[in-house]
Structure 1
């Protein structure tokens, strides 16, 4: 009897990989630091921590501040992010990257592989974003910051594998930051970096990305080549 092909799983990061949310993130960071009357970090520094959970991100951005101040920054960021969502601006401030929808529709239109998400966003933030883009309920697994340690801890991916019943050797993590690549490697998964996000291509390669792609249309082929070994 011919053995069936193994069940496979593709996991996407969100910010910097599926959506270009830098305008939303930068505006919310500016608001958070203004509330604390503290000079905000540079744009480069802020985009460099995208993907981390908020408490970890704030501590890394402003190590000189107290834990109480970090907490106030987190709260200010969340409030601003929520206000922007309520304004109806997510589509304008967090658009899908060019080609992302076509690739998602292609992958989601097949019985296999399964497609999931692992993001530093909160459950509420991801829900609003998926609603705005008409992607609610289409992913086989959705892992968010509320339920896990911050990336690059592999908890999100280990849970995604458990939920879907896929072996790590048959799964791939796709992301734009070193946190995504390190998380994928820690979970025993293949990893693919994307160059259109917030970390430099050379940093993704140094973190261990098996491939780095420059265009969304190149992603399906890169996934196949990774699985082929």
Structure 2
């Protein structure tokens, strides 16, 4: 029996193997502006948040005036060598298998609309998603707005939707929306942090996600 009618994916760190690239761009931007350079854990923790909110965590207090410049510097460093960032190997196969089950497939991301559209075009998989939501249309994670908009758009009850993401922001958004959450540990946040959000499951790869999810799609 089918358990879910809507599967929603985060983008960065979940389908796109971009965590290291984002972390490096944050560190380079902070270094350029003579701000304290965060370690990998601190830098990766903000992945998935609205950009201004994320960068604001690295220029607090007396450094707050550097926020616009830090955002600009991050964007420059992020765009450099972006063509080297690719989908996780099993991403397309996983999406194809889920779509074959006849359920809706969507994206909820902290990226901008323009950034997501560029990434989807570069990856050549835009047609695999029935809808997408970004921070340009919605509140930032972990606010439930993205998921609430998607469930409303498809006419799907929250308890019939599952959110797949690599951060606590994704899983908390799912919880706040009344949806199910599945954490995937190959991205920004480690298993311990994902576990604290009490998801339905934690998987360690997209093939493992398929093994868990496909039987629940009927």
Indicate whether the TM-score tops 0.5: yes
Whole-angstrom distance in 2 between the partners of 1:133 and 1:64: 39
Aligned pair in 2 of structure 1 residues 210, 22: CA closer, same or farther (>3 Å)?
Answer: same
Matched residue, 1:177: 167
Q: Does 1:90 align with 2:90?
A: no
Q: Does 1:194 align with 2:184?
A: yes
> What's the CA shift for 1:220?
2.8
Matched residue, 2:53: 56
The one of the two structures with greater contact order (alpha-carbon pairs below 8 A, sep at least 6) is 2
Whole-angstrom distance in 2 between the partners of 1:171 and 1:135: 21
TM-score, normalisation: structure 1: 0.86
Tell me the number of residue pairs that the alignment of Structure 1 and Structure 2 aligns. Answer: 218
Q: Residue 16 of structure 1 is aligned with which of 10, 13, 16? A: 13
Matched residue, 1:212: 202
Secondary structure in 2 aligned to 1:96?
A: coil
Matched residue, 2:131: 141
CA contact (8 A) 2:185 2:191 kept: yes
Q: Residue 118 of structure 1 is aligned with which of 86, 108, 127? A: 108
Aligned pair in 2 of structure 1 residues 81, 65: CA closer, same or farther (>3 Å)?
Answer: farther
> What's the CA shift for 1:65?
4.4
CA contact (8 A) 2:95 2:128 kept: no
CA contact (8 A) 1:210 1:226 kept: no
Q: Residue 104 of structure 1 is aligned with which of 95, 105, 120? A: 95
Whole-angstrom distance in 1 between the partners of 2:62 and 2:170: 27
State which drifts further: 19-28 or 46-55: 19-28
Q: Which runs of 4+ in 1 moved over 3 A?
A: 64-67, 224-228
Whole-angstrom distance in 2 between the partners of 1:6 and 1:199: 27
Whole-angstrom distance in 2 between the partners of 1:137 and 1:67: 40
List alignment gaps of at least 5 residues for structure 2.
Answer: none
List alignment gaps of at least 5 residues for structure 1.
Answer: none
State which drifts further: 219-228 or 25-34: 219-228
Aligned pair in 2 of structure 1 residues 208, 62: CA closer, same or farther (>3 Å)?
Answer: farther
Secondary structure in 1 aligned to 2:61?
A: coil
Q: Does 1:43 align with 2:52?
A: no
- What RMSD in Å do the two structures reach over aligned CA positions? 2.3
